[in-house]
Amino acid sequence: MPSRAYHEDLWRSIPPGLEPAGFQLRLRFLLDALSQGARVLDLGCGEGAFAAELTRAGADVLAVDVAEEPLRRARAAHPELRTQLIDGEGEWELADASFDVVWAGEVIEHVADTARWLSELRRVLRSGGRLVLSTPLLGRAQLLAAAVGPGSFAARFDPLDDHLRHYNRETLQALIASFGFEQLDVRPAGRGARRLLLARAVRARF
């Protein structure tokens, strides 16, 4: 599994201040799942753009990441944010059932141990709480584009890319359901090469 040093190096290679891809599209989807005063975990918060918008919308937000560099940037850009470093390879120092909503934007595709990650996510989400996430879509159009030529394939499946997993609607829905979530809403969104999956689900009450 990638170490913290790997993630720190990765973040140092990313120019600061970039707007997250598909920001407005994903933000509208996220805010639609939010209730006033909800306790929200922004899991893999990056530079804090979503966490800041959630705070403005009246949520009680904790922004967490597995590297200190994005948290440093988040605090500099948004001093009002509460931030916390979590272990990318073990249990998170977060209490059971302590959040009403967990938001994971463009995170799950970077996770090596998906089962552990989803187990921890489910643990910190209250019964009946909402999972909201986004991830790049690997659908028919993307597979066809990758098959057209070696350049397209190499760009999609670069062995040095930090995307470790690829999802389509069916695989993402089945994965989330298998970890005790119900009322799933998984939909494609976006246009052109930058297609996304947007997913919402409710933690089952057991």
Residue whose entry in the numeric block shows the structure tokens 């670069």: 158
In tens, the pLDDT along 135-157 reads 999 744 444 455 445 555 445 44
pLDDT digits (tens, 9 = 90+) for 155-184: 544 554 566 798 999 999 999 999 999 999
Distance CA 46, CA 38 (A): 20
CA quadruple 2, 3, 7, 10: dihedral sign: negative
**The residue to which tokens 């249990």 are assigned:** 91
SS3 34: coil
For the domain made up of 4-203, the CATH class stated in words is: alpha beta
Residue 120 clears pLDDT 60, i.e. is over it: yes
Measure Cα distances from 109 to 36, 67, 82, 101 in Å: 29, 17, 25, 20
Q: For the chain, give every domain's residue range.
A: 4-203
Token readout for 197 is: 């999956």
Global confidence as pTM? 0.88
